[in-house]
Amino acid sequence: MKSFLIGGFILINVMLMVCCNAQEKGEDRAIVLIKTEFGDMKVVLYNETPKHRDNFLKLAHEGYYDGLLFHRVIKEFMIQGGDPDSRNAKQEQQLGNGGPAYTIDNEINPKLLHKKGALAAARMGDEVNPGKKSSGSQFYIVQGVVFPSDNLTALEAKGNEKLVQSYMRKLAQANNDSLKFYRQSGNQIAFTSLIKRLQNEASAKVAKAPFKLTEQQKQVYTTLGGTPHLDGGYTVFGEVIEGLSVIDSIASRSTGSNDRPLRDVRMGIKVIKEYSEKAQQ
């Protein structure tokens, strides 16, 4: 019972922190309502990410999202939607590539975490999108999991692995001509030697500045839960403040190929509270 009460106090503190983050300075933040057959999710948009906030509000006002699908659903991870091609998509149609003819510069903020309920922008992978620019319309909402406190070392190890992979991609791109030459010439020894040298260089960089979870991350991910390995890679620009159970309902849907729900889950989004620049002054 004692440990339960301690855990309860920690969770209350996290929820208070979430509430405070969502109501910085007591100002009016924009709020949207995402309507689904499983219930509604009330979402506050962060002022720390103005480009994403304003774009989301613009599309919502235009009715852009109405009738679109949550086309990619992975239990204990996230639910994704916002592809305009999903509005009239056939059941076997592959989705995830649609959107307006623009991207949004990343507004990645280390203080905005991938906690449960976080609203974040989908994007193309680093290989073709080194600037981590966001999709013009596609987004995901985090479900994630709660991590036991004794698993934090494993989380940090995964973060370091992710860092090594990121450095390795950049080094491979910088040495692409040499790698391509060795591959085409059949010089496997030189190719393998260069790859090993780049791997060692990437590992050395991470060893000098390893990934460490912040106290905020430790508190959030061991109580509220989420997907910490996405932090720093994608722009989080809002959070669900009412209707977290709706995420669980959608995430539990049976899925087929490409993680698409076997039965369509449609959305509608409307703005219920505007962002007021005057309120910030």
Q: What CATH number does residue 240 fall under?
A: 2.40.100.10
Residue 275, Ramachandran bin (φ over 0: left; ψ between -120 and 50: alpha; else beta): beta
Residue 213 domain-assigned (yes or no) = no
Residue 218 domain-assigned (yes or no) = no
Residue 230 domain-assigned (yes or no) = yes
- What percentage of the chain has pLDDT greater than the value 90? 73
Residue 194 domain-assigned (yes or no) = yes
Whole-number Å distance between alpha carbons of 191 and 198: 11
Verify that 38 and 126 share a domain, yes or no. Answer: yes
More confident residue, 94 or 250: 250
Residue 217 domain-assigned (yes or no) = no
Of 178, 208, 238, which one is at a domain's C-terminal end?
208
Verify that 172 and 249 share a domain, yes or no. Answer: no
Residue 214 domain-assigned (yes or no) = no
Residue 216 domain-assigned (yes or no) = no
pLDDT in tens, 162-214: 889 888 988 998 999 999 999 999 999 999 999 999 999 999 999 998 888 88
Residue 181 domain-assigned (yes or no) = yes
Verify that 276 and 172 share a domain, yes or no. Answer: no
Verify that 141 and 160 share a domain, yes or no. Answer: no
Of 208, 232, 247, which one is at a domain's C-terminal end?
208
Verify that 119 and 159 share a domain, yes or no. Answer: no
Using a 10 angstrom Cβ sphere, with 0-12 exposed, 13-18 middle and 19 or more buried, the burial of residue 42 is middle
Verify that 17 and 69 share a domain, yes or no. Answer: yes
pLDDT in tens, 81-125: 999 999 999 988 999 999 999 999 999 999 999 999 999 999 999
Structure tokens at 281: 């002054």
Verify that 41 and 122 share a domain, yes or no. Answer: yes
Q: How many CB atoms lie within 10 A of CB 182?
A: 19
Verify that 88 and 8 share a domain, yes or no. Answer: yes
Verify that 170 and 189 share a domain, yes or no. Answer: yes
pTM: 0.79
pLDDT mean across residues, the chain: 88
In this predicted structure, which of 76-80, 120-124, 225-229, 233-237 has the lowest mean pLDDT?
A: 225-229
Whole-number Å distance between alpha carbons of 62 and 192: 53
Structure tokens at 112: 């905005």
Verify that 35 and 105 share a domain, yes or no. Answer: yes
SS3 per residue for the chain? CHHHHHHHHHHHHHHHHHHHHHCHHHCCCCEEEEEECCEEEEEEECCCCHHHHHHHHHHHHCCCCCCCECCEEECCCEEEECCHHHCCCCCCCCCCCCCCCCEECCCCCCCCCCECCEEEECCCCCCCCCCCCEECCCEEEECCECCCHHHHHHHHHHHHHHHHHHHHHHHHHHCHHHHHHHHHHCCHHHHHHHHHHHHHHHHHHHHHCCCCCCHHHHHHHCCCCECHHHCCCCCEEEEEEECHHHHHHHHCCCECHHHCECCCCECEEEEEECCCHHHHC
Q: Residue 214: phi, psi to the nearest 5?
A: -75, 165
- Chain-centre distance for alpha carbon 276: 26
Verify that 20 and 136 share a domain, yes or no. Answer: yes
Structure tokens at 40: 């509604």
Rg (Cα) of the chain, in Å, rounded?
Answer: 21
Verify that 113 and 16 share a domain, yes or no. Answer: yes
List the domain range (segments joined by +) for residue 8. 2-146+224-280
Q: How many CB atoms lie within 10 A of CB 217?
A: 22
Q: How many structural domains is the chain composed of?
A: 2
Of 273, 215, 36, residue with least CA distance to 141: 36
Mean pLDDT of 235-242: 98
pLDDT value at position 78? 97
